[in-house]
Amino acid sequence: MEHRDDIGAKLGMWVFIFTEILLFGGLFLVYAIMRSSYSVEFHQAAHHLNAFIGSINTVVLLLSSATVAMSITAVQKGNNKLAVILLFITLLCAAVFMVNKYFEWGHKIHIGLYPGSDLMLTLSHGQVMFFSLYYFMTGLHMFHLVVGGIILTIVMVKVHRGTINPGRYVLLENGGLYWHLVDLIWIFLFPLLYLIT
């Protein structure tokens, strides 16, 4: 008889998610205080952000979260083939998100808006603060997206091989939880960074 504890495994994943919430929570707190100190500068700086790309990425991430959630349903019903397709759609969404980010950051770096640039030195302290937070928070979020993508790739292979199956799928659930966390953070990042003009 094999010993395992799925609830324990999920609880462990949640404890990790709590540390992530507090990590990003600290950054959101810095954002709140800087924004209250430099509200005018934050408004001006936010005009440089592309709300259209931000909106597209929000839709893409929400879709990717839904497909992960559906892949759990598929595995529970014994339909591993559909689960693999759904997870593949999720990874595709992650790729679209990254490509959008590449163009978004690329454009900003091209016009000289990046930490430590000559242009940045001419800006007011509040605007520099905004761009620093923008790069750090979206950058850290993107890092989580890449890690989540790697985890879900491993999960997808395991679903394909059948090591994740209707009798044992806690790894898929935990991978899904991580992916939803990435989504959760973006839900707050998007309005606070892109929609404050």
Partner 1 sequence: MHTETVHITPYRTHAWVLITLLALTFVTITVTWIDLSALTVAIALLIASVKAYIVLTYFMHLKFESSLFRVFVIMVLAIYVLVILFTLSDYLFR
Stretches 55-63, 102-110, 115-123, 134-142: which one binds partner 1 (CB under 8 A)? Answer: 55-63
Q: Which stretch binds partner 1 (CB under 8 A): 7-15, 89-97, 129-137, 154-162?
A: 7-15
Does residue 188 interact with partner 1 by CB under 8 A? yes
Show contacts of 78-83: CB within 8 Å, 24+ apart. Answer: 78/165, 78/166, 80/159, 80/160, 80/162, 80/164, 80/165, 83/159, 83/172
Nearest approach in angstroms of CB 139 to partner 1 is: 20
Pick one of 9, 27, 51, 170: the residue that binds partner 1 (CB under 8 A): 51
Q: Is 184 in the site for partner 1 (CB under 8 A)?
A: yes
Which of these ranges, 52-60, 100-108, 127-135, 149-157, lies near partner 1 under the rule CB under 8 A?
52-60
- Complex with partner 1: residue 66 or 120, whichever CB lies closer: 66
Q: Does 72 help bind partner 1 (rule: CB under 8 A)?
A: yes
What's the min distance (Å) between Cβ of 197 and partner 1? 7
Does residue 136 interact with partner 1 by CB under 8 A? Answer: no
Angstrom distance (rounded) from CA 146 to CA 98:
9
| CA distance linking residue 159 with residue 178, whole number of Å | 17
Compute the distance between CA of residue 117 and CA of residue 115 in angstroms, rounded to an integer.
Answer: 6
Torsion of the alpha carbons at 102, 107, 108 and 110, rounded to the nearest 10: 120
Distances 151 to 111, 138, 178, 193 between C-alpha atoms, Å: 35, 20, 9, 27
DSSP 3-state percent helix, strand, coil across the chain (nearest 5): 85, 0, 15
Q: Which residues bind partner 1 (CB under 8 A)?
A: 7, 10-11, 14-15, 18, 21-22, 25, 29, 32-33, 36, 51, 55, 58-59, 62-63, 65-66, 68-70, 72-73, 76-77, 173, 176-177, 180, 183-184, 187-188, 190-192, 195-197
